[in-house]
Structure 1
């Protein structure tokens, strides 16, 4: 019961809204509101400021949230250990990852893990590099699958592989025949940029501005599927690593042209884990499986 109330509180704290938290938890807003009020009554202090646009933690609320995070993490480890006594892995694995990993890679790995460990549930959140790093730092994810861009001091990137950014073009695009291209050469054509890929998009734009070539941002979108189709239709140049376009690259519909003269061609992809936080057995097992899958992917990516 204690763990349930703390989980309710932590979800409300992070969403800043009873309504949003109730949707995530599948609990009625009235019931959730009563639980928060009960917790405040028991602790004898208001945990939230009630504002016109939502809720904000008080200083007492910040202290309780830190306690809740530690307690829930320890509870997850405990339930995993109890499951291990029965010879099975249980609990939840919380993953943060880049959007491109949802196209092929992560669904296949979750499917494979589920066949071996059907008692484990998953919570997957996506976003750009900065967001998924923050999810791990804040304790909302056990680990992240992301790039080797300035990892925080209390985290480390493991099982990393080479996953360079490339200029993605249609098979009949003029750049498709080039052994390698510069960003300046890409900027001679329509650019297809993804909105939420910070800091990579900013790095692209900064390097283009240094070259005094901004290019035409023909389409910007936060949806990889749209941009992938526009690339296939020959409408411009997009910048992606191969991991989200494996099938199209293998079939030849899309060509990934190496980038030269930019550090973006030296990106590495790996698993970002906290150095000192204890994880569940299920999370450890998933990390090892994904690490092996990344090693295999490095050999097979076009």
Structure 2
């Protein structure tokens, strides 16, 4: 009879995702020696090599890939069972992990989640900013249940639910030559000094498009707040690229927002998940709330 426990499965999944037993051990809070022993125990129990040692860590064998798929299903089912049963306890608490691209994190989500958190005082939300392509990968691999992405990326086999329009705009001082146009190309942007937002998925997204054109973005300064970015733009330090959902921050400033004339700049925020019926009760509540907010916004 094959014997293993949930810790073994969590360790194995973490080791595969992290590319090493060391990172897997850190993720599940085990000593390296104990983690190695558990992996060896799994291999002995199944009678097959599960991880192949490579110069920079480990990678799954064919048997390991098969175990990975089953382990992720078992852990996801266990998590849903735990959440559903905990809901019967009075005052039960829960935590939802939500992945988001920059546009949603700076605009749509802060406005949408306030009411949800007030209506569900026992639920907390961990929001992690990632590029849309990375969100698709992480949700596909069950590292998170829900993500908000730009719908211009390939969602693979995920279920996609449109939320709101969130095009990309170039923001320039009203006196800047580009401010008088109807739209701006990415090539125009590459000629300009930029004011950016520090450490955002949007920054990485723009940098990737620049690399594809054999160029790089030239930043004068990067700041944390949208308001600070806009004030620098207003002063003529440079131009910025901002999601449509952040444009209310421009009110009263001597700046102008011009749509970015690229297909990948015309986008819509969308909620993604593996399957709606696989969501835990807590994640399902947030899923339904965000869709309701988006529906009400479009009708308003």
Both structures adopt the same fold (TM-score exceeding 0.5): yes
After superposition, give the CA deviation of every residue in 1:264-297 in whole Å (9 maximum; x if it has no partner).
4531112122347611111111112223444567
Whether the aligned pair in 2 keeps the contact of 1:162 and 1:298 (CA below 8 Å) is: no
SS of 1:154's partner is: coil
| Alignment partners' CA distance in 2, 1:2 and 1:91 | 23
Gaps of 5+ in 2: 197-201
Gaps of 5+ in 1: none
Q: 1:1-302 counterparts in 2 under 5 A?
A: 2-86=5-89, 91-103=94-106, 106=109, 113-120=116-123, 122-152=125-155, 154-170=157-173, 173-176=176-179, 178=180, 180-183=182-185, 185-191=188-194, 195-197=203-205, 201-202=208-209, 217-219=217-219, 225=224, 232-233=231-232, 234-243=236-245, 245=246, 248-250=249-251, 252=253, 255-260=256-261, 262-275=262-275, 278-294=278-294
Q: 1:30 to 1:89 in 2, by over 3 A?
A: same
Q: 1:248 to 1:106 in 2, by over 3 A?
A: same
- Mean Cα deviation higher: 16-25 or 114-123: 114-123
Question: Please, what TM-score do these two structures have when normalized by structure 1?
Answer: 0.75
Q: 1:226 to 1:34 in 2, by over 3 A?
A: farther
Whether the aligned pair in 1 keeps the contact of 2:19 and 2:57 (CA below 8 Å) is: yes
How far residue 181 of structure 1 moved from its aligned partner, in angstroms, is 2.7
Question: Please, what TM-score do these two structures have when normalized by structure 2?
Answer: 0.76
When the two structures are aligned, how many residues end up with a matched partner? 288
How far residue 151 of structure 1 moved from its aligned partner, in angstroms, is 4.0
Q: 1:111 to 1:102 in 2, by over 3 A?
A: same
